[in-house]
Structure 1
Amino acid sequence: MFRHHHLLALLLTASLAACGTSTSSKRDEHQYAFGKPSAPQTAAAGVAPVVVNPPAARRGPAAVAHVVYFDFDAYTVRPEDRAIVEAHARWLSQHPGQSLRLPGHTDVRGGREYNLALGQKRAEAVRQSLQVFGIDPQRVEAVSYGKERLADEGTSEAAHQLNRRVEFDYR
């Protein structure tokens, strides 16, 4: 067994050494199936460069909450959270290529089916609020997790309040 591993290590070392001895002339002689690649195109040549949004840009507006909360057994966006929805709508208007997922959540009280339906109604309420601000509803997906993904597993009213929410999840 030791000899086998030792032989394998020697063969691997020899192979790697052979890879390092190639010359640049061999690289220059490489045959391309569709011709040699040309230099990258620039805006001066009539082709605009592709700009890729960094991951941070996909997270939505900075310095704005990414969660709206709901009252017990309700799915109306509260007046104090309307400014949050409006800020996200403004950001979405400025970033037409972005899409958004709105997961709706509930606290642990109530049955599974009821909470799934309530979470969906909450997500749809935020989606409709965004639509009022001019956001195409095709860019926004409303989903429900009901009581399956709690933000706080406690049983106090404060814990329940943290669980009754819709989050802004940019895609």
Structure 2
Amino acid sequence: ITPALFERYPDAKSLAAANLSSLKLLINSCSFFNNKAQNLIKMAQALCQKHAGEVPLDENELKALAGVGVKTAHVVLIEALGANFMAVDTHVFRISKRLDLLTKAKVPEQADAELSELFKTDLNRLHQAMIIFGRYTCKAIKPHCEGCFLSEFCKEKTNKI
């Protein structure tokens, strides 16, 4: 989606002026594209009005933008600054539960706090490693448990390959 999106809307100003229907068509292959399209336009408008069209590199300012929560703010700061943040997506959450790293977390925000407290440093690297591991090895459906280097720690071994 992003190459076509960035070609059509190369900056916040052009995205802020986007036609909602056209934007929806452009991103309709992603989940929740109706809400995402609305939030993309609102976010771009806020960037133009409050930040001179530039993405702020402050967690609270990022979270104040439409459609931006903790995970997205952390991903932006990880990618832009190499910040020491965890960003809990579906892969990180699933792996953390399977490896019994979480005690009370029921939602990603709680998992973020627990993992950050548990590991403390190099969270950005851990985040990236867990995403790759979750995409290709510890998948939601048909995980590759056989030969997994963490299988002895997994509480949900399926031993499927």
Give the TM interval when normalised to the shorter protein: under 0.3
TM-score by length of 1: 0.20
User: Relative to total residues, which structure has the larger helix share, 1 or 2?
Assistant: 2
Over alpha carbons, which structure has the higher Rg? 1
